[in-house]
Amino acid sequence: MTITLGRVPQLRLALNQIDSRVGDLAGNAETIVRWTRHSAEQGAHLVAFPEMVLTGYPVEDLALRSSFVEASRAALRSLAARLAEEGFGDLPVVVGYLDRSAAAQPKYGQPAGAPRNAGAVLYGGEVVLSYAKHHLPNYGVFDEFRYFVPGDTMPVVRVRGVDVALAICEDLWQDGGRVPAARSARAGLLLSINASPYERDKDDTRLELVRKRAQEAGCTTAYLATTGGQDELVFDGDSIVVDRDGAVVARAPQFAEACVVVDLELPAAAADAPVGVVDDGLRIDRVVLSEEPVPAYDAEPAGGYAERLDDDEEVYSALVVGLRAYVEKNGFRSVLIGLSGGIDSALVAAIACDAVGAENVYGVSMPSKYSSEHSKDDAAELARRTGLNYRTVAIEPMFDAYMGALGLTGLAEENLQSRLRGTLLMAISNQEGHIVLAPGNKSELAVGYSTLYGDSVGAYGPIKDVYKTVVFRLARWRNRAAVERGQTPPIPENSIAKPPSAELRPGQVDTDSLPDYPVLDAILALYVDRDLGADEIVAAGFDAELVTRTLRMVDRAEYKRRQYPPGTKISPKGFGKDRRLPITNGWREGADV
C-alpha cells in the first residue's frame, strides 16, 4: 500500500500494523524480524511497529514482575543484534516494549521498579534511543498509573536528514506534552505507535484526533495502530497518515495485518534545531543517525486508502477477531456451543464458524419437555446451513431424576434445566477438549436474566458486550452479507423472527420478565454505558416506574456478572474492567423517583 507526496527531501515510511501475543517475547521478535524484512524489500527508510509489540499489550501485572521487565529489555537488545545480523543494521526500526527507569527511586504512589511503557529505535545492532510514554491513561480499561512511570523527554531521531519526533498512543489522545513539543522541536514528522482498543465509532474519533494533532504539531503525523485481540480487548488497526494540514495521506485496513508503505515529502532538519527543555518540561533527546537526504527517487503511485467497513460489519468483524484471537492464542482448536434455536446461540455459532472454521465448531441441542419443535428444528437448520458439527442430547431423563429427588418448582425448576445443560456442555468439553462459548448478551447480563452455572458457563462470551437489539441487527447483516456473496445465510429466518424465549416453562417469552428490548436497551445504554442516574434517565423520556425496576435489576445482578466469562469488548463501557462496582452495595438509584 503506497502513496506519493512529492520529491526530495523524501522518506519512505513503513508502518507495520501487526498482531502480537502477550508474553511471547521470542515469537513477537520473530514476527518483527519478518515484517522488517518485508519493509526492507519495499525500500523503506524508516520502519515502525506498534506500542509494546515486543511484549504484547496490555501486559497488566506482568509489568510489576522484575523478571518479565528484564526479559523484555534483554529481548530488545537481542532483537537489535538480530536485525543487524539479518542485514538490516542500517535501517532504523521503531519498536514498542516494556522497560524500566534507569534511575528508579522508591516513591509513594509509583510502581516498584519504575516500569515504563516504552519505545526504542534500533539501528546498527544497538538500541540507539529509548523513550517512555509521557501521558499515562487511567480510565476505562487502562490502569497505566498502576503499572508505569511517565517519560519526560521529547525523543527525536534524525533519519536521512529529517527530524522525526516520537510519541506513544496517549501522547496524542491528551492535550499538551509531545504534540506541541514536536512543533517546538521543529520536527518534520511525528510518529506515534499505538495499541488503542476498538470501540464502536472510534474510527471517526481517531481520524479527527490525528488531523487535529497534525495541525497542532505543524508536521505530517503518522498514527500506527496494532490489530488482533487480547482477552476481552480487540484492536482494529486503522493506521492513519495525515499531512500537516490534516489531509489524509494513507489509511490502513481495519482488523487486518498490513504493511503501509508511504512516500513522504518532509522538511529537512534545521541546522539550528532546538535543544534543551520545551513544552510541558520535556527535554529534547535527539539522536542523529543519518544527515544525508535520500537521493531523489520516483515515488510509488497512489493507492493507500483502505475502504471503511460499515457499522454492522465493523462490529461483527470485531467479534470474529476477538474470538479467533482468544482461541488461537490460548492454544485451543475447537469450540462448543449449546444450540437452542434462538437468536443468541445462532449468532454466536455464526461468529464461531467465521472465526475458527465450521469444522472446528461443535453444536449440541439439549431439548427439554418445554422445548418447542420449531426451536429444535431451527437448531438443526443452523447446523445444516453452516456445516458445523451437530448432535442432540435430551436432558429430560436427567431432569426427571432431579425432580424426583428434589421436587423443585417455579424458578428452581426453570434454572435446573439451564444448569443441566451447563453441566452437560462442560462434561463434553472435558471429554473432547473443546472450549465452551457462553451465548449471553449484554442486555441479559445487565439485568441478571441468566442462570449461574447454567447458560453462563464457558470460557468465553463472544456477545457479552452486545445488546439484544444489536444481536438481531448483526444477525440480519450476516445473512444479508452471505446473500451478497452468493452464500447460504447462516442463521435461520425463524430464529430472527420469533419472539425471544428461554423456553423453561410453557409459553414463556422474555417479555414476561423484561421490558421490550428496544426500550430496555435504551435505558441500559444510559445507565450502564453513560452512568446516568435515575432522574436523568426519566428526564430523557422513560417511565419512572420502569426505570426504577430496570435499574434495580441491574444493581442486584452484579454478583452474577462477576462470575461470567470474559468476552469481546465493543462498547465504551463493557462489563468487567470498564465497569467496576461493588457487589455489596446499599445505594439504589431511583429510590425517590
Are 476 and 583 in contact by the 8 Å Cβ rule? The answer is no
Burial 138-157 (b: 16+ CB within 10 A, else e): eeebbbbeebbbbbebbbbb
Q: Does the active-site annotation cover 442?
A: no
Are 166 and 159 in contact by the 8 Å Cβ rule? The answer is no
Neighbours of 78 (CB within 10 A): 13
Verify cis geometry, omega within 30 degrees of 0, for the bond prior to 58.
Answer: yes
CA 556/CA 588 separation, integer angstroms: 9
Question: Helix, strand, coil % (nearest 5) of the chain?
Answer: 40, 20, 40
Q: What strand order describes the sheet that includes 248-251? A: 248-251, 240-242, 220-224, 189-193, 162-168, 153-159, 283-288
Of these residues, 133, 464, 468, 569, which one is catalytic? Answer: 133
Q: Does the active-site annotation cover 51?
A: yes
Are 417 and 400 in contact by the 8 Å Cβ rule? The answer is no
Q: What is the 3-state secondary structure (H, E, C) of 505-528?
A: CCCCCHHHCCCCHHHHHHHHHHHH
CA 417/CA 420 separation, integer angstroms: 5
CA 265/CA 583 separation, integer angstroms: 57
Q: Does the active-site annotation cover 133?
A: yes
Residue identified by cell 445443560 is 421
Are 315 and 474 in contact by the 8 Å Cβ rule? The answer is yes
DSSP 219: S
H or E segment and range at residue 12? strand 10-17
Q: What are phi and psi of 572, to 5 degrees?
A: -65, -25
Of these residues, 169, 219, 259, 353, which one is catalytic? Answer: 169
Residue identified by cell 417479555 is 511
Catalytic residue ranges: 51, 133, 169
